[in-house]
Amino acid sequence: MPKAYDYDLRRKVLEAIELNGMKRSEASEVFGISRNTIHQWFQLKAETGDVKPRPSNHSGHSHKITDWDKFQAFVRAHPDKTQAQLAELWDDEMSERTMSRALKRINFTRKKKPMATGNGMSRNGLSSWHS
């Protein structure tokens, strides 16, 4: 979401229109903003009495996990569960994808031991099964 225009600029634009008699279209050109923005500022002033930007409540994802120690204990308590099962068991509603991101954040991995077979190559570069 784009950043709101500065409060000082908003006041200057409205002052130029209200006190100095500048037309909205002229103010639009002088200050480099759209007429629609100016119109919205007048509406905001009529509703709230000021042109301060409304607070933005878009601060990232809605965080499902706030207590990470509790989450780590939860995961340790259910080591045999899949991500889908963990998501179902968690206190709040959570998707599999959110569970996946949370597990990644705590560096939890499903791979518990190295693979039983090697990569098939010996140190001399030849395949070990041709020996």
Per-domain boundaries in the chain: 7-48, 68-105
Distance in Å from the first CA to the final CA of the chain: 63
pTM value?
0.46
Predicted local confidence at residue 113, as pLDDT: 59
| CB-CB contact of 13 with 31 (8 Å) | yes
Q: What is the pLDDT of residues 54-90, one digit of tens each?
A: 887 656 666 778 889 999 999 999 988 888 999 999 8
Q: Higher-confidence residue: 73 or 123? A: 73
